[in-house]
Chains A and B, each alone.
Chain A
Amino acid sequence: MWSHVRTLWEVLKHTFSRNETVQYPEEMPYLAPRYRGRIILTRDPDGEERCVACNLCAVVCPVDCIALEKTEGEDGRWLPEFFRINFSRCIMCGMCEEACPTYAIQLTPDFELCEFNRDNMVYEKEHLLIDGVGKYPGYSFWQIAGKTIAGKDKGEAQGECEPVDVKDLLP
């Protein structure tokens, strides 16, 4: 019984405590960079698309709302031919970002994704792709991967030796 009374008193005391409510939209709340909102595709530090169409985001997506298909650029990079996210299905769980091996797909603090028409919730690659690196400034997958692209020959990636001379039989 006493605990009930005490509860009531404790609740009542909140009459005089400060409200936590942020008066959105007049007042924009601070959202941390790691907030999980609208998804973007970022670019390498050198301005090329980061996404290599590996499909890992699509496969971890619990609501299967990512669809993409691989193509190959003239420079030898793997790229998504199309990259589609159906935000009307997306649950902003962030698994795609965790799965992304190239930091291409990132969730942003933008959560203002309302539309009157559900069709407008389907984002294609041109809607997703931004002209920046997002949260991970320095990373460039292609400088680490072993596959050759224009401007990065075999042996020129990070931590790679010169290509082997296969006809050399020296010990």
Chain B
Amino acid sequence: MDYGWIMIVPVLGGALAGAAMLIWWERRLLGFWQDRLGPNRVGPFGLLQIVADIVKLFTKDDWVPPFADRVVFILAPTAIMAGMLMAFAVVPFGPGLHVIDLNIGLLFFLAMISLAVYGVLLGGLSSNNKYSLLGGLRSAAQMVTYEVFMGLSIMGVVLLTGSFNMSEIVRAQEDVWFVVPQILGFFVFLLAGIAESHRLPFDLPEAEHELAGGFHTEYSGMKFGLIMVGEYLGVILVSAMITTLFFGGWLAPGFLPPISILGPELEGVFWFSLKTTFFVCFFVLLRAGIPRPRYDQLMSLGWKILLPITLINLLATGAIALFIAEGG
């Protein structure tokens, strides 16, 4: 069954609501892990914190620095948001629950997420501020580095599935989740995903301790809000992709009986959400625990360790796939 265009509404709404909630959720989690409470004042459990934040952001002076490249400066946050939201179009939230079931879904995802990085880059450049410029430069370098093996790392999944179609990939995991054969690919994708969404410990374009906010130093008001939401969308997106590509997407763990009262779609959404949430929480845990590496360390990790690992993984997977195809 294909819900098609109707899915735009829940996906768009869900993604945005999720990103917004994540802002609160992350702060609560960080709070707990630091033996504090986190935001708990606005509404029950502080749930309305995000409403307060949004009200604040909307009422702030929407300021464009006189020295900035005005057009690009305004467009950049939009690009981040748009790229991230577009990528959600191909994510299968359950059997048939996707905006569009592209047969090049995975490539579309890669393309869109790269577009979002342009937003960061352009934002940094257009601000015309040395900290922003440094942030933008780092973002560019990080993008070039991590895009390469992000793409390569999931080629193993594609090889095993024989398709770029996301639903196909999920279905191909009915026997065994790809995390098992593709453990190396999973790790590389995880790291690349963090880097791609500029999350700690790979938030070097932002790096507030050294760059005062990096690429978004000059941003304020809702434009800053867009960048912020874009970042959390990225977190959700990468978590969703990890779930889809390596952890069986909407599929329940094989040893569990189906939850009949929900029906297959909702059951798919349930499992998908559960897994995604797990990875989202893992992202937050990384932020809570791991310090930011130096820039050269980030680069050498990418080029000297992750890239070879990816290539080896691809080679091995290819060999095995070839072997199976030949032999089987």
A residues with a Cβ closer than 8 A to B are: 4, 7-8, 10-12, 14-15, 17-21, 23
- Minimal Cβ-Cβ distance residue in A for B38: A21
Highest count of chain A CB atoms <10 Å: which of B285, B286, B288, B289:
B289
Contact B37 A12 (CB under 8 A): no
> Does B35 have its Cβ within 8 Å of any Cβ on chain A?
yes
**Interface of B, helix, strand, loop or mixed by DSSP:** helix
* Contacts A4-B289, A10-B289, A14-B32 supplied; 6 other A-B pairs, CB < 8 Å: A4-B290, A8-B285, A12-B289, A19-B37, A20-B36, A21-B36
- Minimal Cβ-Cβ distance residue in A for B290: A4
Q: Which 4 A-B pairs have the closest CB atoms?
A: A11-B289, A21-B37, A7-B289, A8-B289
The interface residues of chain B lying within 8 Å CB-to-CB of A18 are 35
B: interface residue count bin: 10 to 19
Contact B33 A20 (CB under 8 A): no
Interface string of B12-33 (1 = CB under 8 A from A): 0000000000000000000111
Minimum CB–CB distance from B262 to chain A (whole Å) comes to 28
> Does B297 have its Cβ within 8 Å of any Cβ on chain A?
no
> Does B34 have its Cβ within 8 Å of any Cβ on chain A?
yes
| Distance of A122 Cα from B289 Cα, bound (Å) | 44
| Distance of A4 Cα from B35 Cα, bound (Å) | 20
Minimum CB–CB distance from A24 to chain B (whole Å) comes to 11
The interface residues of chain B lying within 8 Å CB-to-CB of A19 are 31-32, 35-37
Minimum CB–CB distance from B34 to chain A (whole Å) comes to 7
Minimum CB–CB distance from B37 to chain A (whole Å) comes to 4
30 contacts between A and B (CB under 8 A): A4-B289, A4-B290, A7-B289, A7-B290, A8-B285, A8-B286, A8-B289, A10-B289, A11-B285, A11-B288, A12-B33, A12-B285, A14-B32, A14-B34, A14-B35, A15-B32, A15-B33, A17-B35, A18-B35, A19-B31, A19-B32, A19-B36, A19-B37, A20-B35, A20-B36, A21-B31, A21-B35, A21-B36, A21-B37, A23-B37
